[in-house]
Each structure stands twice: as C-alpha cells, then as structure tokens.
Structure 1
Amino acid sequence: MKYALWSAALVLAASGTPVRADVVSDWAELQTIAAEAESDSTAPFDPSKISAYGRLALAMFEAANAADPAYRSYLGLKPASQSASVDAAVATAAHAVLTTTYAGQKKSLDDALILALAGIADGKRKTDGVALGKQAAKAALARGGWDEKATMSHYRPTGPAGKWAPSNVPFPPEMSAAKPWFLTRPDQFRIAEPPALTSVEWAASFNEVKKLGARESKARSPAETLKAKFWAFYELDPVLRQIASQPGRSVVRNARMYALLAMAAEDMDIVMTEGKLHHMFWRPINAIRTADSDGNDATEVDAGWVPLLNTPNQPEYPCGHCMFANVAATVLAAEGPPPSGGYAFTSERMPGIRVTVPDMETYAREVSQSRILAGVHFRMTNDISDDLGQRLAENALTSFAPPL
C-alpha cells in the first residue's frame, strides 16, 4: 500500500505551487525521487530500505534541532556550536541518509547537495553545519530498520486443504520485523476480533458496502464516485508544504513535523501488517459473493458483485487508509490551526485536481468514507481503524521530542 507523503520535487517546481522553499520539504521530496528511481516490482524485497522515510526525517530533525535547539533530542544528540548553519546541517544529514539507502542515485544526490551548499556562504557556519549533519545521519541510520532477531509473520493461504486460495503474498514478511519507533511490540495496539458474522453490526456493514460500493451502484452519487477514486491515491505533500510555509515557522519545527509523521506512519505499518495477518478477515467481494455461508439471514449473496475499485491484495481488518489518514490528521492538527482557505490535497491519478478540506478531522472522515464507496472496506472496520490511527498518533506525540 502506498501513501504518497512526498511527490517529486521537479513536478512541484513545474506546477508553480505558491509556497516558499524549505530545506526539509525539498529533501523529503528528493527521497521520493530516489525511491521511485530504484523501484523494481520484480526485485526481491530489500530490508535495508525499511524505515527509509523515518530515518531521513529523523536525521533532518536531529540536525536542525542540534543547530537550533528547541526540542528534546530523540537520539540524545547534544546541541552544537551556535555557529552551525541549520540549512547546511539538514541538507548534509539528508544527503548522507539518502546516499546510504539509495546508493544507485548517489550522483544525482551529490549534485543536489552541491547546489544546496552553494547557497550558503563558506566559513565556520557552513563547516560546522556539514559536520553536524553527518553526525545526525550516522545516529539516525543506527536506529529503525530491520530486526534480524525478530520472528517474521508469514502469510499462509487460508481454506480447506486441496482448495484454491489466493497465493500472492500481501506483505513482504520483513515488514513484520521492522524496528518500531514508539511501540513496545508489534501487537501493542492489536484491535479486538471483528463482530460475529451472525451479528446485526456485521449485517449493517455488509449491506452498506454492498449497496454503496458496487461498481454500478445507483446509490452512490457521481461526486462520491470521484471521491473514492481521488482518496485512493491522494498525496499529502502539498499539505505538508502548506503547513511548513506558514509565517513564523522555523526549519527545526518543520523538521519535527516531518519526523513525527514519518515515524508514526512507519509504526502504523507495523501495527497494520500485524493486525491484518492476525485477523485474516475477508474483503467485501469475498463476503458478498459467498454470503450464503455467513449464517446471517440479513445478508444476501450476490455471486457477481464487484467493487468500484480493485480490491487490494491484503486482508481487510484493519483499514490501512483509515489508519494513516487518522495518524496524519492527528499529528498535523497538533501543528496549529488550518491555513487560510483550508488544506489542499492532490491525487497522483487525477493530475490537476485539488480537493480542499477545512480541517484535518474532515480529511480523515473523507478518506475513511471513501473506502466504503470504493467497495473495499466495511464500516465496522473503518470505525475501529479511525480510532486506532488516532491512538497511534497520540502515542507518538507523547513520545517524541517535547519542547525544551
């Protein structure tokens, strides 16, 4: 599952997005460029790229915070000389993390660092900033990543012996062995079992998605159809830029925002993977096509039912989109009031279109509802997943870098 936290910097530059440049946002976007350049769906999963976003964002935060102390260090870095350049420290830290993670993109990343440092006057401030950035990157790279000692959770196809079941592995097993940032263990936030298939709650969720999420649904409005498609592949980077560009914000405050969101989101991935593989709950297309097997008289089978959007190759419970939206909403709402005019989102599948919401609560609610409209999740799952995302974010907010 992809959540586009940051889009390509070149695309943003060409779009004329009316926000000021920010060293943190710029290098966060270069991470996406490097990741996409090295993406290969046929290559084996590379555990070295686990925690890529979190390590980058944490390194930038630690570098900025050591140069301009405002928060408690997560990694225990001590404040540096007051002469250190914040921008030099952040750029150098980001470059060191990215070249370690995406070695094949070293030439392009080297060029980016040369240009970033060229805008900073030579002297002690620059030299101290570069040294600080390297120190922060080294410390960040030593955290997160893959725990070789952890027991990985492997996908096991379900169904009676001798009968076909989906064979595509939904998650690389290495994801279940990622080192958490704020969790004490992968199942720390495991949710309760789904409602019984004979329950009234199950029937209500079943019939809602069957009605609203069908490909040719007459109950879903044209606007709702577009919302389902938009929020399936939305991008958060314009919103992060909006927030980072608000008057009075410092580089270190922006770096903390990126780090907190990235690290909380990576913990969310661990919780989501563990939960889905533990519960192995069926998707709407499975449930609706075989409703005659659920033992509930209030559900009716439709053997030809198909959802509006393709069903992800993952168990249904909990909802990853719902969790991430609520993690992001909770973290970003803590950054202060919305920008004038609200938050503007884009979607990689609908270029040129922006959806503006007045607040983070609305954003999270829209994303959650969109998964029902898409025909891929149940209301009962979304409700508990919304709450789970909020709790994960609150856990991160209370654990990470309080103000000095």
Structure 2
Amino acid sequence: MAVWPLVTGVVIAGSPVELGSSFAYASDSRAPANAVIVWDGNAQTAIWDIAAQQPQVQARSFAMVHGAVYDAVNAIAGTPYQPYLIAPAAKGTESTDAAVATAAFRVLTALFPAQQARLETQYDESLAAIPDSAAKQRGITVGAQAAAAMIAARRNDGAFGGQTWTVGTQPGQWRPTPPAFASDGAWVGDLKPFLIPRASMFRTSGPPSLTSRRYARDFNEVKTIGSATSTVRTADQTQAAIWWHDRHLAEWEIKRQLATTQGLNTLQAARMFAMVDLAEADATTACFNEKAAWSFWRPITAIQLADTDGNPETAADPDWTPLLVTPPHPDFTSGHTCFTAASMSALAYFFGRDDLPFSGYSAASGTTRYFRGFSQALAEVINARVWGGIHTRTADVQGAKIGGQVTAYMAGHYFRPKR
C-alpha cells in the first residue's frame, strides 16, 4: 500500500496499478493506438480547440466523456471495478475500440450538436479501422448505452445557469477587475457534483481577516512578486506563471503522456482518465462554491484599495497591475489549485507513487516544463498563481486542500476493485 501526502496535508492511500497485465479484447491487438487516448484528443478538439470552453466549463465536458467511456470498457472487461453509473450487459467479446468511440462520440454530439458533422467524420474513421463483425456491433451497443446513461444523468444538472457573482463595495469584497471588468462562471459552484454528495462538502474557514498578519504576509508577497513589473520574480517564475495560466491546459497532454509511457491498456486508461477527470470536475465545482461563499477580492483590488483594509502592514498602490490577466471571479479559493490538486492526487493514487516524471508544453509561454512527480507539479502551481499576481497564497493552499479532499472522497467511494 503506497501512501502519498499532499503538500496541504491530505493523505491519500492507494495500491499501484498492475501495469504489466493485459486484457484480450476484441480489437485491441490490431489497434494502432489506445482508443481512450485517441478519443481524449478528439474530445479536446471539440471542447477547447473549437468550442473554446474555459477550464471551469471544460471540466464538466471531459468528465462526461470519460465517465461514459469508463463504464463501457469496464462492462466489457467483466466489471472488475465499480461502475460509475451503469454496467451495460456484455459478454467480454465486444470490441472495446467500438465501445470507446461510440461512448465518446455520443456524449460529445450531445454536448456540441453544432459539431455533429465533424464528429461523425472522426467517428466513422474510428469505426472503419475496426473489422466488421458481431463484436463490433455489440461494442457499439455497449458504448451507446453508457453514453445514454451519462447524458441522462447530467440533464438539468445546473450547467450554464444564470447565477452571478455578488459584487461588493466594502473592503475585502469582490468586484470585477480590469481590463474586461467581467463576471463569469458563477453557475459552476451550483453544478450537480459527479462524485461528492454536495458542492459545499469541503468548506474552509475562509480567507484571513484583513487586519491579520497572515493577510499582510499574503498581500505583500503577491504585491512584490506578482506585479507586472516585479524586479524579484525570476525569468523561470515568470514562465511558470504563464505556463500554468494557459487556457490550453497542459494537464490534458500530461494524462495522455502518462497513459502512453506507462503502457496502460484500454481498461487501465479508461479508469485513470475517469478518475482524474471526474475528480477535477468536482474539485472545480467545490472551489467555485467556495468562491461564492466568501466572495473575496482579488489581489489587484486589494492592493489598489489597501488604504481601506485597516491593516497597518499593507500599503496601497493605485497603479499596481498583475503579471497575468485576473480571471472574472473571486480570489478565494484558487480554481486552478483545486483542479490541479485533484488531478495530481488522483494520478498519484492511481499509480500508487509520486515519482513518475512527465512534462507539458505551453504555446502561451513557448516552453516545456518538466516534473519529477505529482507533488512537485502541485507545489509549483500553488506558487505560480502568486507569481502571476492573481491569487493570494492562502487561496492557493486552501484550494489545493479542497482538490485533495475531493480525490480522497473519490478513492473511498468510486472506481474501486470489486471484491
């Protein structure tokens, strides 16, 4: 039993996945690539490259795709793990490639009906690579049933609701920030979770008091190192801040990379992607619910209006701007650290170790960043949001704690081996 502690103190225990095992499914021996990885790339094209969904929206879409794919593949494998929603009837001779393609295609077309023609082309190409047979048709049926269950489960789940962030005028209260002065994504905090019983399950004690020393430490750190004109931030820290802020998330590449380098078979990849993506989705919802609960101002507002906070250890700078553009929602807690803590802790739980190396490229920074393991990546994103000037350290650390707690809940209740 391997135990991996998050930097935030959440401990998640897990047994290493048996990477040497394999399952003899109908089309796997002829497949040029793992269908789960292929359709994750297809999902990225639909979700981000074309629809341009923001991270808090992307999380729901990826979770729906991979939850359905997992249920289809798990059923064909004989249901060795707990189903997420259903276990369609299967004999074990069905084509898993056909099931994966069908499950992903059906969910994606439900999410993006305007892309149906393009998605049908990808789907037809996937099916054309599978020899016509009864196994292929049965795989299609299993995938369709898994997709139908997911689509039904997420109907009226609160997505794209009309909620808005509360705009305040008092010290500490959130208000829209430059340059766009936008307000977006409040509905995410009320989204029906995929795994946890309720979005407010992991409520924190909130941001530090404005007059506290901890608040002053947070304030002065982000003011100094997160400024657009900071003289103490290193070139590598600047690159890291931009790399982690890229809306084309490197986490997608990292998951596909690990599935490939670790030689995951179809079932293993389906389970890993489902665990990571559903944990990410719920961590994002929990985080946005937390944002709504505290409605705390962003560093740019706090620093420009510091003469109103009542803290003698802070000083206002009405011209201060951050390195990065501030997202259009409150500071506390950090959505990205919630998301990344969930993904990194889920990966560590799945593999049963923290020392797997990986990397990811960002076009925004023009750099590839390399990591020795999952906790190193999480530690860096906590710092990077401060280096970028868009979050306080406490918001980052508490966000990471929420992400780890969501994964811990998932590990105890979902995707477990059936005894």
Same fold (TM over 0.5): yes
Q: Which residue of 2 aligns with 1:370?
A: 384
The amino acid of 1:228's aligned partner reads A
Residues 76-95 of structure 1 mapped to structure 2, 5 A cutoff = 76-95=86-105
Task: Report deviation, 1:38.
Answer: 5.2
Q: Closer, same or farther in 2 for the Cα pair 1:247/1:173, shift >3 Å? A: closer
Q: Closer, same or farther in 2 for the Cα pair 1:359/1:173, shift >3 Å? A: closer
Task: Report deviation, 1:319.
Answer: 0.6
1-structure distance, mates of 2:270, 2:357: 22
2-structure distance, mates of 1:50, 1:242: 19
The amino acid of 1:241's aligned partner reads R
The residue matched to 1:215 in structure 2 has which SS? Answer: coil
Q: Which residue of 2 aligns with 1:382?
A: 396
Residues 215-364 of structure 1 mapped to structure 2, 5 A cutoff = 215-233=228-246, 234-336=249-351, 342-351=357-366, 353-364=367-378
1-structure distance, mates of 2:120, 2:147: 15
The amino acid of 1:184's aligned partner reads P
The amino acid of 1:328's aligned partner reads S
* TM-score, reference length from structure 1: 0.86
Choose which of 164, 174, 179 in structure 2 pairs with 1:154. Answer: 164
Q: Which residue of 2 aligns with 1:21?
A: 33
Q: Is the 8 A contact 1:75 1:140 kept in 2?
A: yes
In angstroms, what is the RMSD of aligned CA positions?
2.7
Q: Closer, same or farther in 2 for the Cα pair 1:186/1:237, shift >3 Å? A: closer
Q: Which residue of 1 aligns with 2:407?
A: 393
The amino acid of 2:288's aligned partner reads T
2-structure distance, mates of 1:256, 1:246: 16
1-structure distance, mates of 2:301, 2:160: 32
Task: Report deviation, 1:356.
Answer: 0.7
Q: Is the 8 A contact 1:368 1:382 kept in 2?
A: yes
Choose which of 39, 43, 66 in structure 2 pairs with 1:57. Answer: 66
Equivalent pairs counted in the alignment come to: 376
Q: Closer, same or farther in 2 for the Cα pair 1:211/1:40, shift >3 Å? A: closer
1-structure distance, mates of 2:191, 2:162: 9
Give deviations 1:136-180, integer Å, cap 9, x for gaps. Answer: 1111111135336999743232127xxx96395533454344221
Q: Closer, same or farther in 2 for the Cα pair 1:247/1:147, shift >3 Å? A: closer
Higher relative contact order (CA 8 A, sep 6+): 2
Q: Which runs of 5+ in 2 are unaligned?
A: 1-31
Q: Closer, same or farther in 2 for the Cα pair 1:147/1:140, shift >3 Å? A: closer
1-structure distance, mates of 2:141, 2:291: 43
* TM-score, reference length from structure 2: 0.83
2-structure distance, mates of 1:209, 1:21: 45
The amino acid of 2:157's aligned partner reads D
Give deviations 1:210-235, integer Å, cap 9, x for gaps. Answer: 11111111111122111111111141
Q: Which runs of 5+ in 1 are unaligned?
A: 1-19
2-structure distance, mates of 1:35, 1:124: 32
Q: Is the 8 A contact 2:233 2:387 kept in 1?
A: yes
